[in-house]
Amino acid sequence: QICLSLVKLLFYLAHSPLGSIVLLDFQPRQFVMVDGNLKVTDMDDASIEELSCKEDNDCTLDFPTKSFPLKCSAAGKCEGINEKKNLFNAYRYFFTYLLPHSAPPALRPFLGDILNATGDLRYGINETLKAFEKVLHLYKSGLYLQKRPLHLKDYISLKGFRMAEGEDYKCWPSYSHLGCLLSVHSAEEAAAICNSQPQCQSFIVTQRRTWTGRPLASFQSSPTDLIPDANAVVYIKRSASSGERL
């Protein structure tokens, strides 16, 4: 969410009515999230000036660890230097820390491509935004889920119950520090996740939604504490259920 919002912001800056705007003091502390959107807190160090040049050799974009040769345009300006400076700073301050860690495994190669392409400045802001929107579409639609054996058949469903909230085993990247609360596309994906975690014996797909509209599923190691709830369904591993427990 942070990276996509940042890319949308940089897209606007690259195509603003004033021209391409560069953030000269590009640091994480210069940004804040407001209602799910990233905002710049200080525009004092923004500039629409692009580096003047006489030849291509005048247009090297230098960073502490990398340098990029750019073209000198017929108008005597280094082509795209403001856009590229913003994008590489987004890569080194945001993308490298946030993109690789919390996506479903099937989407990580797509995010890896974005990371590599922006790190080498092979993508401009237009291509970067398009790539992010593709990943978001795959994520929201569930199209990233590969065809696999159905896991939900390994569970019995108890309609009209939910699990008592409380501290349980932890997982990454959980939306709760008390237990394992993950975003899922469906109960089938939740069943696949539960099967992949040795501690998991049951789960419930909650009514809570993330910013993408996906529901959150709560995974637990014990299905014993059940509370009546007409709108809920508890899924319990068949291997974990017994007549005494139910």
Active-site residue set: 25
Report how far apart the first and last C-alpha atoms of the chain are (Å, whole number): 40
- CA dihedral of 176, 179, 181, 187, whole degrees rounded to 10: -160
Can you tell me the distance from the alpha carbon of 155 to that of 237, in angstroms, rounded to the nearest whole number? 4
Give me the helix-helix angle, 125-141 and 81-90, nearest 10°: 40
Alpha-carbon distances of 201 from 25, 164, 196, 236, rounded to whole Å: 49, 14, 11, 6
C-beta of residue 187 within 8 angstroms of C-beta of residue 194: no
* Residue 9 CA: distances (Å) to CA of 14, 40, 53, 95, 112: 9, 9, 27, 14, 21
Six-digit token string for 89: 């700073």
Tell me the residue ranges of DSSP E strands in 35-140.
37-40, 46-47, 60-62, 67-69
